Structure 1
Amino acid sequence: MNLAPFACHPANSKGRLHPEIAAPTRTDYQRDRDRIVHSTAFRRLVYKTQVFLNHEGDLFRTRLTHSLEVAQLGRSIARALQINEDLVEAISLAHDLGHTPFGHAGQDALNECMKPFGGFEHNLQSLRVVDSLEERYPAYDGLNLTFETREGILKHCSLQNAQRLEGQEPNGVGWRFLHKQQPSLEAQLCNLADEIAYNAHDIDDGVRSGLLTLDQLDDVPLFARFRDEATTEHPHLLGQGMQRRCLHESIRRMLSAQVYDVMDATREAINEYRPTDVESVRALPVLVRFSPLMREQSLELKRFLFRSLYRHPQVMEMTGNAKRIVRDLFAIYVDSPAEMKPAFAWKAQQGDDTVRAVTVADFIAGMTDRFAIREHERLSSERLMA
């Protein structure tokens, strides 16, 4: 592995919370990736919403397929920048492990429920999953991942939670939020690959669902440019029955342009700031970036998707029902912890109101969409989603 000096080298890792003997054939970041892939939380992602509920169609993205797409994009860019592909892959595969059922709707509802107890942040919950909630090893809770993977998972963090994390783990993953520093280039790359992936696949899923049309996308310069290129080079894509091919070719070109833009803009930033190692990266501005034009066009695409897809009446109907399911389940479990699975029920009854609420949030956040729907129907005798 030919890594740049500013890349994360496994031999220089800040290590694990619980020291372990090195594996004979794998680096620490490869072990992290493998532990994530074998985790229960990772398997649940296949039945967690991206935009469309899993039962609305077999071909829509889920949190699992989204995570795989982020990992693919991240590895491609990491290789070109000579930063650590294995670490990028581990962070990419783990970044959504703490996401609730029903996507952002479920997260927003659970955050509302948890406001009296500090709120709910899905990035922090992803860290909680790998640090505490997975139960696979006899000597410790969680997956015991390296500092660098855990740092990358914690993309955002409130000041209050960062202070709490710093109290539990001095100079740990909360430190940079208190001192306004950046994570590794590998973590920065995962943040941007996440954005590139969901913008592209939300276009694809939006058109597949019938909620978006190619004509609407002509108003989005970033997409329209590549659709025009595709149809100019392949005029038959404008013909009857060619919509899917036209869409896929346009998205493919758009993804490639964004990937190469990130490579070029990041190399330019690295040449300007000249980081010498990982620690110097932390003290600099974000280096993994779009060019200014691509950043503006990407933001314009995000605004279009928010306006035309995420706020579409059909999506909003699902959003309202999803929020109600989460709110109802939270209230029921807080009042009657015994309705949860035994391990959660026992834990909820061992502490004060905060312990109970956090335990209920852990239980709900770990649910798949379909399990949450079934639980709500069981406990309320009301079916909000078919």
Structure 2
Amino acid sequence: MSVGMAAPRAKYACDPDRSRGRLFAEPPSKTRSPFRRDCDRVIHSTAFRRLKHKTQVFIFHEGDHYRTRLTHSLEVAQIARALARQLGLDEDLTETLALAHDLGHPPFGHAGERALDACLKDCGGFDHNAQTLRVVTSLEHRYPEFGGLNLTWESLEGIVKHNGPLTEHSGAPIARYLEGGVPVGIADYNAIHDLELWSYASLEAQVAAFADDIAYDAHDIDDGLRAGLFVVDDLKEMPLTSEIIGDIDRHYPGLDEVRRGAELVRELISHFISAVFSEASNRLAAAKPQSAHDVRRHHAPLIAFPADVAGEEAAIKAFLYRRMYRHPRVMEIMGDAEQVVRNLFERYRQSPGDLPAEWIEGTERETEGARSRRIGNFIAGMTDRFALIEHQRLFDSTPDLR
């Protein structure tokens, strides 16, 4: 089958007609599948709109053309749906997971996450996947009969497990959770609504995770070029990008730098999508799953890069880490951004009355840990812009993050 063609629904895809349902039972929609309904709920959520002013790498007033969490999520959804279509998966569920995956990120990108994790270290720390789960299960206030969005079981498990199982079947944490344990927000929710943390997620969730990596790599290259942190020819130090640049220069001699960079990004995305499709096809042919149930209980992920492409992708991440994420200009801004988050957290902790009225109610009856988590939830929901405005309101001096 051609990579560009849509495959018929595969037997190992999630079937919306066989969804495990929602924590709070609702009448089915007359016009939408359960997964389409989930996707629409994510799109209409307040948390999704806030992504417009949440940072990827650069803070919001660096320029109008850099990625935000919102534009990144849309790009992830496009890549994820392309892969889901080729593999015969449910596109609505795939899109839901692609659009929802960053809902829990705080302001100022990973700098904000590091700061909140330190502030909340005595009550479980901060994990953006756990925060996304909080958003869609309790923090969104849009429906009269329940908190959150009341998404299907399949959407919730995909949010939590898109990077793989969190525990052994016994419940013992594994992988990145081995040292610190399963994040509090996930463990608490799982106690009332079992997401089977020991199993793999659906193929739709696995596809969304790889689409996230592809989008990050390609589009951070684009943003780094726009910001002047490196030039196209600097990327020749990696064999893959060197080969792509060489092909571009042969086909389009004399092409200007902007179009040269854009063509590189386009070819890189195509290369990675084709590689994931090829490897997934091989793994699925070998494993022969007959249902989404078989996918979850397989001993390994079924969506992956081939080994050589995994090496190529790791080289790009290493380049971006060195030349972009750890660039002195970016590091200085992110250091100041971390301080903004720490200042806000401590101010609200010392003076809860500085919180908005709807966030103050009930604080006097809470334990210190519960109050800290409430403050963390409030800060995590902030946009970059609002965090700076709040800091200016509460402090005499606010860093100029540019």
Query: In structure 1, what is the equivalent of residue 219 of structure 2?
Result: 201
TM-score (norm 2): 0.91
Deviations 1:247-270 (A, max 9, x none): 111111111011011111100000
Which letter maps to 1:260? S
Matched, 1:243 2:257: yes
Query: In structure 1, what is the equivalent of residue 51 of structure 2?
Result: 45
Matched, 1:168 2:162: no
CA distance in 2, matches of 1:10, 1:255: 29
Query: In structure 2, what is the equivalent of residue 231 of structure 1?
Result: 249
Q: By how many angstroms is 1:385 displaced?
A: 2.0
2:232·2:260 contact (CA, 8 Å) conserved in 1? no
Matched, 1:253 2:271: no
- Figure out how many residues of one structure are paired with residues of the other and give that number: 376
1:139 aligned residue (138, 141, 145): 145
Deviations 1:260-288 (A, max 9, x none): 11111100000011111111111211111
User: Aligned ranges for residues 299-338 of structure 1 at < 5 Å?
Assistant: 299-338=314-353
Q: Secondary structure, in 3 states, of the residue corresponding to 2:32?
A: coil
User: Aligned ranges for residues 359-378 of structure 1 at < 5 Å?
Assistant: 359-378=374-393
2:340·2:398 contact (CA, 8 Å) conserved in 1? no
Q: List runs of 5+ in structure 1 lacking aligned partners.
A: none
Query: In structure 1, what is the equivalent of residue 29 of structure 2?
Result: 23
2:14·2:90 contact (CA, 8 Å) conserved in 1? yes
Query: In structure 1, what is the equivalent of residue 172 of structure 2?
Result: none
1:226·1:251 contact (CA, 8 Å) conserved in 2? no
Which letter maps to 2:266? R
Q: By how many angstroms is 1:166 displaced?
A: 2.9
Q: By how many angstroms is 1:151 displaced?
A: 1.2
Q: Secondary structure, in 3 states, of the residue corresponding to 2:373?
A: helix
CA distance in 2, matches of 1:89, 1:201: 19
2:51·2:69 contact (CA, 8 Å) conserved in 1? yes
1:49·1:369 contact (CA, 8 Å) conserved in 2? yes
User: Aligned ranges for residues 352-363 of structure 1 at < 5 Å?
Assistant: 352-363=367-378
Q: By how many angstroms is 1:230 displaced?
A: 1.1
Query: In structure 2, what is the equivalent of residue 123 of structure 1?
Result: 129
User: Aligned ranges for residues 95-106 of structure 1 at < 5 Å?
Assistant: 95-106=101-112
Matched, 1:32 2:38: yes
1:70·1:194 contact (CA, 8 Å) conserved in 2? yes
CA distance in 1, matches of 2:9, 2:388: 47
Q: By how many angstroms is 1:361 displaced?
A: 0.3
Which letter maps to 1:167? A
Which letter maps to 1:190? A
Query: In structure 2, what is the equivalent of residue 190 of structure 1?
Result: 208
TM-score (norm 1): 0.95
1:264 aligned residue (278, 284, 287): 278
Q: Relative to 1, partners in 2 of residues 1:166 and 1:39: Cα closer, same or farther, differing over 3 Å?
A: closer
2:303 aligned residue (281, 288, 298): 288
Deviations 1:172-199 (A, max 9, x none): 22x22xx3x2100000011100000011
2:54·2:384 contact (CA, 8 Å) conserved in 1? yes
Q: By how many angstroms is 1:360 displaced?
A: 0.1
1:347·1:359 contact (CA, 8 Å) conserved in 2? no
Percent of residue pairs bearing the same amino acid type: 44
Q: By how many angstroms is 1:130 displaced?
A: 0.5
Q: List runs of 5+ in structure 2 lacking aligned partners.
A: 1-6, 167-176
Q: Relative to 1, partners in 2 of residues 1:372 and 1:163: Cα closer, same or farther, differing over 3 Å?
A: closer
CA distance in 2, matches of 1:9, 1:23: 16
Which letter maps to 1:205? D
Deviations 1:108-127 (A, max 9, x none): 11001100001110011011
Q: By how many angstroms is 1:312 displaced?
A: 0.1
